[in-house]
C-alpha cells in the first residue's frame, strides 16, 4: 500500500508543477472544429475590459484557445511522416462559394441528335493505308495535307461543268466554306449554351439555304409592308411558313399548353367529338321568316292560278318555274321546253 500511496503523491506533486488545462465558463462555447473556430457567447467583464483591456483580452483568448485545443486533442490522430496529425470533422459553418456550382456542359446540337438516335462515336485509327500512294497517311495534320496534294495532282472535270472552270480553286473554295460553316455552328452552340440571343443570319445564298429558310424569308418579307402584308398578292398554292410569329410583324403567337394528364386529354378530345356530333344548325330568324312569307305568297298565287284557268296549261307542276339561263340540270333537247335562239 505504501508504494501506491507514494505513486499517487508523486503524481499529485507533478500535476501541481503544471498549470491546469481546465477552464470554467458560464455558457459553453460553440465549436466548429473543421474551421478551427470557437464562438464564445459569454458577456464581457466590463470592469476589467475598461481597466486593462489588452491583458483581459489576452486571458480571454487564452482560455478560449485552451478550450478549443482541448476539443481538437480529443479527435482521432494519425502519424504521417513523423508528425502527428489530427483528422478534422467537416466544416459546420456555411460559407459562400467563389463561383456558382458547375453545371453539366450543355450538349451541342449534334451531340443532342446523336444521343436521341443512339449514334455512338467510333474511334478512328490515326494512320490509314493509302492504296494509291502506297504509304501510311495520318488522319489529320500537315502530312495528310501533303498526301492530299500528291494524290489530287489532276482533277476530273465533271461532264456538265464549264470546261474553263478551275476545279482546284473550286475545291479550295468548297473546303473554306465547310470550315466557316463549322465555325458558325460552333459559335451557335456556344451561344445556345450561354443563352445569348443571336441575331438571325437571314437568307443566305440560295444554294446553301433550305426550302424552309426561303419560305420563312418570303413570309416575313411579305408581312413587312406598312399595312403588314394585307394587300400582298398570293401565288396559287402558296403556303405560309409556320412557327415564325416571333419574327413576323403583326403576327401574334398562339400557344396552347399540352394537356397535363391522360384523363384530361381524353375528356378534351371527347368534348371535341361531342361538339361536332351534337351540332345544331344555326337559326337565322330573319331569313326563316322571309322564306316562310314567300312560300305562303307562292301558295296563295298558285291557288289563284288554279282557280282562274283550270285546263289551259299542260305543263307539269315541276316545270312551273321559269327556267333560268345556264342554271340547273340540262336534260338535252328531247325533253322539250323553251326554244333557244
Interface residue list for another protein (CB under 8 A): 14-15, 17-21, 34-44, 46, 49, 53-54, 57-58, 60-62, 64-66, 68-70, 72-73, 77-78, 80, 83-88, 90-91, 93-102, 187, 190-191, 196, 198-199, 266, 270
**What is the spatial distance between Cα 133 and Cα 93, in angstroms, rounded to a whole number?**
68
CB of 149 to another protein, least distance (A): 26
259: how many CB neighbours lie within 10 A of its CB?
Answer: 13
First vs last Cα of the chain: how many Å apart?
A: 157
Q: Which is nearer to another protein, 191 or 245 (CB)?
A: 191
**Rounded to an integer, what is the distance from CA 108 to the centroid of its chain?**
12
Q: How many CA atoms lie within 13 A of 235 on its CB side?
A: 8
Smallest separation (angstroms) from another protein to the CB of 142: 18
CB closer to another protein out of 77 and 295:
77
By C-beta, is 83 or 318 nearer to another protein?
A: 83
Residue 60: CB atoms within 10 Å: 16
Name the minimum Å distance from CB 98 to another protein: 4
Q: Which residues contact 89 (CB under 8 A, 6 or more apart)?
A: 33, 34, 75
Q: Min. distance of Cβ 262 from another protein in angstroms?
A: 11
Least Cβ distance, residue 83 to another protein (angstroms): 5
Integer-rounded Cα Rg, in Å, for the chain is: 49
Chain position carrying cell 463549322: 182
Rank residues 37 and 228 by Cβ distance to another protein and give the closer one.
37
* Nearest to another protein of 172, 187 (CB atom): 187
Is residue 136 within a helix (H) or strand (E), and if so which, with residue range? strand 135-138
Q: What SS3 class is residue 8?
A: helix
SS3 category, 127: strand
Whichever of 2 and 43 has its CB closer to another protein, that residue is 43
User: What is the nearest approach in angstroms of another protein to the Cβ of residue 240?
Assistant: 29
Amino acid at each position: 500500500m505504501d508504494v501506491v500511496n507514494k505513486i499517487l503523491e508523486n503524481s499529485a506533486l507533478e500535476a501541481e508543477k503544471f498549470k491546469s488545462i481546465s477552464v470554467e465558463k458560464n455558457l459553453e462555447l460553440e465549436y466548429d472544429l473543421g474551421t478551427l473556430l470557437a464562438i464564445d457567447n459569454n458577456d464581457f467583464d466590463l470592469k476589467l475590459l475598461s481597466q486593462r483591456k489588452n491583458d483581459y483580452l489576452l486571458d480571454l483568448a487564452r482560455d478560449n484557445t485552451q478550450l478549443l485545443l482541448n476539443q481538437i486533442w480529443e479527435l482521432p490522430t494519425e502519424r504521417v511522416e513523423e508528425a502527428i496529425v489530427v483528422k478534422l470533422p467537416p466544416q459546420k459553418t456555411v460559407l459562400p462559394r467563389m463561383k456558382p456550382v458547375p453545371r453539366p456542359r450543355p450538349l451541342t446540337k449534334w451531340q443532342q441528335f446523336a444521343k436521341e438516335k443512339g449514334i455512338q462515336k467510333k474511334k478512328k485509327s490515326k494512320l490509314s493505308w493509302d492504296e494509291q500512294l502506297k504509304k501510311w497517311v495520318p488522319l489529320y495534320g500537315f502530312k495528310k495535307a501533303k498526301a492530299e496534294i500528291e494524290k489530287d495532282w489532276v482533277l476530273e472535270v465533271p461532264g456538265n461543268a464549264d470546261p474553263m472552270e478551275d476545279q482546284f480553286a473550286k475545291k479550295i473554295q468548297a473546303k473554306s466554306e465547310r470550315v466557316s460553316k463549322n465555325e458558325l455552328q460552333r459559335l451557335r452552340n456556344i451561344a445556345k449554351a450561354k443563352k445569348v440571343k443571336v441575331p438571325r443570319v437571314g437568307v443566305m445564298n440560295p444554294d446553301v439555304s433550305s426550302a424552309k429558310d426561303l419560305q420563312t424569308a418570303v413570309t416575313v418579307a411579305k408581312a413587312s409592308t406598312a399595312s403588314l402584308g394585307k394587300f400582298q398578292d398570293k401565288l396559287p398554292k402558296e403556303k405560309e411558313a409556320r412557327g415564325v410569329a416571333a419574327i413576323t410583324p403583326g403576327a401574334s403567337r398562339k400557344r396552347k399548353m399540352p394537356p397535363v394528364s391522360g384523363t384530361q386529354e381524353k375528356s378534351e378530345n371527347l368534348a371535341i367529338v361531342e361538339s361536332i356530333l351534337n351540332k345544331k344548325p344555326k337559326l337565322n330568324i330573319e331569313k326563316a321568316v322571309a322564306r316562310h312569307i314567300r312560300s305562303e305568297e307562292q301558295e296563295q298565287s298558285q291557288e289563284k292560278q288554279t282557280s282562274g284557268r283550270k285546263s289551259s296549261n299542260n305543263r307539269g307542276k315541276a316545270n312551273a318555274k321559269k327556267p333560268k339561263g345556264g342554271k340547273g340540270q340540262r336534260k338535252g333537247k328531247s325533253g322539250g321546253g323553251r326554244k333557244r335562239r
